[in-house]
Amino acid sequence: MSTTTAREEVARSKQANVMLSRVAGSLYWMSRYLERAENQARLIDVNLQILLDFGQVSAETLKEHWLPVLRSSGDEEQFFKLYESADNESATDFLTFRLENPNSLISCISNARENARQVRDQISSEMWEVLNDAYHFIQGADAKKIWAEGASAFYDQIKRFSHLFQGITVSTFSRVEGFEFIQFGKYLERADQITRLLDIKYHILLPKASDVGGAVDTAQWHAVLRSASAVEPYRRYYVADVLFKKVVEFLIFDDSFPRSMKFCAEQMNEFIQLITEGDPTAAVNAEPIQRFEAFLSRLSKVDVQSIFDNGLHEFLDASQVEIASIGAHLYTNYMYHPPVDLQAEIRFQQQQEQQQQ
């Protein structure tokens, strides 16, 4: 092989790997950000509605209501850099329209669109159009006016964009590697969100012993179900009243509900297998995947009572670690490549050729 050919082969190989990893990363984050936007829209809307159900509430009650929501995504510190107190107006503005908040709706949708823009040749035109429409909807000059005229309708529109995008993706995207990264990102985001949603209610909003089972407690657990679009599925499974242990059991263990932690984790595992299939380095990097499979196995054996006995918060916290860990593993190995020193690679190739002559 000539020197020129060696250089070309090394360059082409490295460039192809970087390109594939960049495409995979963009598709993955496109999917995650849009799913996060949908989850946020539902969470904000439900929290606004529950305050309306309670009628007039004090400033302290408003603060206690919104702070857990802000803490759940780690944005409390950033919030108080911009606002003096947490109430309906400040919290919803921060969670919806502030670009300074990396998890606001406008940030998530903007990031989803930017990632899609980077891989426009890889996705269908219909997928791009939905994301572009969502971006212009929330970036538009009338967005806050539309929100003021009907917050629920505003957040419903965000959810419809997400649902439309998911349906179009399933209908128009070829079942190739890119599809696997899109689906893995979606289910990882859902699994992470359901742990945070449960933690908001049980750990941060944990009622006094005298309040357990009371009207406020029941209303909050009902809101948790609504935040996961799970009221009707829960009612079909548990005809009885909304009971906190049953809600936790359903949202963690139900293997047919597409937003339960177990369902999402199982879907993640399926797409992990597809992504790593045929990878010659998979055996070397098998430990994180085996760890996630062990987590799934434990999830199949544990029951809701043992979780409460050992601490729901501790269980949810440990689950978040496992979900984040497998996400980081796939990102590091399949969606990110550090800058490559092509000259160093070419010199190494030349040395190898000289030794073989």
| 68 within domain boundaries | yes
The count of structural domains within the chain is: 2
| 306 within domain boundaries | yes
Residue 310's CB is within 10 A of a number of other CB atoms, namely 11
9-36 as b/e: b if 16+ CB within 10 A: ebeeebeeeeeebebbbbbbbbbbbbbb
Q: What is the pLDDT of residue 16?
A: 42
Question: Can you read off the two tokens belonging to residue 55?
Answer: 């009628």
Q: What is the pTM of this model?
A: 0.86
Residue linked to tokens 């055996």: 283
| 10 within domain boundaries | no
| 356 within domain boundaries | no
Same domain, 296 and 338: yes
Instruction: Residue 288: name the closest of 269, 266, 267 by CA.
Output: 269
CB of 133 closer than 8 Å to CB of 168: no
| 246 within domain boundaries | yes
Helix, strand, or coil here: 227? Answer: helix
Question: Can you read off the two tokens belonging to residue 335?
Answer: 């969606």
Same domain, 132 and 225: no
CB of 265 closer than 8 Å to CB of 190: no
Residue 273's CB is within 10 A of a number of other CB atoms, namely 13
Same domain, 105 and 253: no
- Cβ within 8 Å of residue 134, ≥6 positions away: 34, 37, 109, 112, 113, 158, 161, 162, 165
Same domain, 151 and 221: no
| 198 within domain boundaries | yes
Same domain, 100 and 202: no
User: Would you write out the chain's pLDDT as a tens digit for each of its 357 residues?
Assistant: 454 555 454 444 434 454 478 899 999 999 999 999 999 999 999 989 888 766 666 777 777 889 888 988 889 999 999 999 999 999 999 999 999 999 999 999 999 999 999 999 999 999 999 999 999 999 998 999 999 999 999 999 999 999 999 999 999 999 999 999 999 999 999 999 999 999 988 765 555 544 555 677 788 898 899 999 999 999 998 877 888 899 999 999 999 999 999 999 999 999 999 999 877 776 667 899 999 999 999 999 999 999 999 999 999 999 999 999 999 999 988 987 554 454 555 555 566 556 555
Q: What is the pLDDT of residue 220?
A: 83
Same domain, 298 and 197: yes
| 16 within domain boundaries | no
From 173, 189, 207, give the residue that closes a domain: 173
* Structural domain boundaries, residue 139: 22-173
CB of 6 closer than 8 Å to CB of 346: yes
Q: How far apart are CA 150 and CA 135, in angstroms?
A: 19
CB of 10 closer than 8 Å to CB of 351: no
Q: How far apart are CA 128 and CA 169, in angstroms?
A: 10
| 2 within domain boundaries | no
Q: How far apart are CA 117 and CA 123, in angstroms?
A: 9
Same domain, 196 and 309: yes
Same domain, 155 and 121: yes
Q: What is the pLDDT of residue 49?
A: 86
Q: Report in angstroms the alpha-carbon separations of 284 from 31, 35, 153, 331.
A: 28, 32, 50, 16
Same domain, 91 and 74: yes
Instruction: Residue 159: name the closest of 130, 201, 199 by CA.
Output: 130
Residue linked to tokens 């944990």: 206
Same domain, 165 and 309: no
For the chain, helix, strand, coil in percent to 5 are 80, 0, 20
Q: What is the DSSP string of 196-260?
A: HHHHIIIIISPPPGGGTTSHHHHHHHHHHHHHTT-HHHHHHH--S---HHHHHHHHHH-SSSTTS
From 173, 205, 232, give the residue that closes a domain: 173
39: left (phi over 0), alpha (psi -120 to 50) or beta: alpha
From 173, 204, 237, give the residue that closes a domain: 173
Burial environment of residue 142 by CB neighbours within 10 A (0 to 12, 13 to 18, 19 or more):
exposed
Same domain, 114 and 157: yes
Same domain, 315 and 295: yes
